[in-house]
Amino acid sequence: MSAPGAVVDSSVLLDVFTEDPRSAEWSERAMAEALASGPLIVNAVILAEVAPRFSRFEDLETTVASAFVVEQIPVAATFLAGHAHTSYRRAGGARAQILPEFLIGAHAAVTGRPLITRDPKRIATYLPGAQLIAP
């Protein structure tokens, strides 16, 4: 099942929210280009990862509502993410912060959308066929 738009990884949102001098320009451009083909998608995992940049929930909610569509992670994506994470761990990968990355990547893969990310290596390795927009 393919859907229009692109899933935006939290790393890309954080670039913009923090005005990262190294990556904000690329991240803004990648989101603007993707927006031409459909909505920018975020999910609960992405929101959880960017939430600390906001002091109030209402500020996060307003920012997200103005530019993004919030979707639930499809159940099939959670299955895929769990298997990707297991493969990663069996290959000797470290535990820290990886399952959220696979949940985000699998959401994009299962819905047939590209993932805008600055951290494509593990997604490309453990979710082959995922379409990535990366520097």
Q: Which helix (H) or strand (E) holds 31?
A: helix 24-35
- The architecture of the domain spanning 6-133 is 3-Layer(aba) Sandwich (3.40)
Q: pLDDT (tens digit, 0 to 9) for every residue of the chain, 135 residues total?
A: 467 899 999 999 999 999 999 999 999 999 999 999 999 999 999 999 999 999 999 999 999 998 999 999 999 998 988 888 888 888 887 766 578 898 999 999 999 999 999 989 889 988 988 999 999
- Check: pTM over 0.85? Answer yes or no: yes
Domain ranges of the chain: 6-133
CB contact set of 36 (below 8 Å; sequence gap of 6+): none
State residue 47 phi and psi, 5-degree precision.
Answer: -60, -40
- What is the rounded (10 degree) CA torsion for 30, 33, 39, 45? -10
